[in-house]
Structure 1
Amino acid sequence: MSKDFYSILGVSKTATQDEIKKAYRKLAMKYHPDRNKGDKQAEEKFKEIGQAYDVLSDEQKRKQYDMFGSAGATGNPFSGGNYSYSSGAGFSGFEDIFSNFGGAKNSNSSFNFNIEDLFGGFGGTSSRKTYSKKEEKKEESLDFEKTYEIPIFDLILGCKIEVTGYNGEKANLKIPASTKPGTKFRVKNFGKNISGKTGNLIVKVEALMPKNISDVDKKLLETLRENVSY
């Protein structure tokens, strides 16, 4: 008889992967053999849950199941292989629990348990703390970046500008001739101060274009354009 994997997990045929995963977590925890010592019905239920999740959590297998059912065509892996389970030293250690899952297969079928699938939704438990990924703590940069718009002709000819550091300190910064827009300059010890360490002020310069150019100035620029080499 074809097994109804959706009924086994208690979800609808239109259930999302998230709903399937949540249902599996809940049932796997409830019927796990280490929580039901000597209960053959619970052990069989646990195997069924595993079979159902193995199929429904895989989009390709799920499509085949929806078309052919668990019996399927000849050689179909949904025909219901035997999933063995050997109880370990008890429910106290997660390593003991999951060490048995690696051998839970035979020549006809296999079932892979995923720790995150089983425990990912139970926040605040010791299992979550043991197996959760450690988040890398990024150190805050001590440098402080500011952008200054400088008239295009000052970038071409060179100039000096007054810059302000993170804490309001002032300094004069020399901008060399022929500086390109987007160039960055570093002013030491004008950045953030954290735990006794001081960063730098990073000054980025951009070109400020003139709004209006007279006809006379245009002719001068045209002459300049013809005579300047790049």
Structure 2
Amino acid sequence: MEVIKMLPATCFVVFVTVLNLHITAANVAAPRDMPIQFPDQPPPQALALVAADDDDVPASCHNLTYCTVKPKNYPEERFNKMFKDYKPVHQPKLVEDLTNKFGEEGENCAVELSNEPLYKVREKRDQPWRTVIQAPGHDYLQRVRLEKCSNEGAPCFESFCMGGGDFTPVCQQKYYTWEVLVAKGDNESEKIEAKLPGACSCYATKVEFKNRFGADKPNSTAQKKPKKP
């Protein structure tokens, strides 16, 4: 609190605004009888299945939950035949009801934008890939606007002198849930949900006392950054 009093009025207003917008971490008490679990570390058998599943996906997509690169064995001809006498209407749908689906204006976070067809998606990185239906022969393409951080962890809101206090603002990747039409078996389809990068936003990250003098990099003990799917 003493640090905040030392900051100029302009910095204090922006600081409070950033915290209100982006600090979403909550402390949830777990029952005592529940075993400790590490969701970021899937079991070995799951990793083995994912590794085998990655063989059909371009290498550039192996560590992602989506792929905009067409695989060599992509069944485009089969999908064109499926939609030969059908006018599909389903398009990728954003599940979350958000007032601002992309980065806040003025956050100074560099981003890479793309709007390419999706060929593969999966709910999480330790889940099997699903083939997204694309039938360009019948004008059916499923595209999603993707917004990725060019330099995740880079400082933001620099013009508002946010540094020097208990928190420092850095760019973090945000993911949104989309509903996509994928293949099911040989001649069926179904809708599934997949998390895709949708914004690069400024988050307040906790800075330890010694880090205020430039000794170390800021950590995120108080502010949890958006978890990668």
Question: Which interval holds the TM-score relative to the shorter structure?
Answer: under 0.3
With normalisation by structure 1, the TM-score equals 0.18
Structure with the largest fraction of strand: 2
Structure with the largest fraction of helix: 1
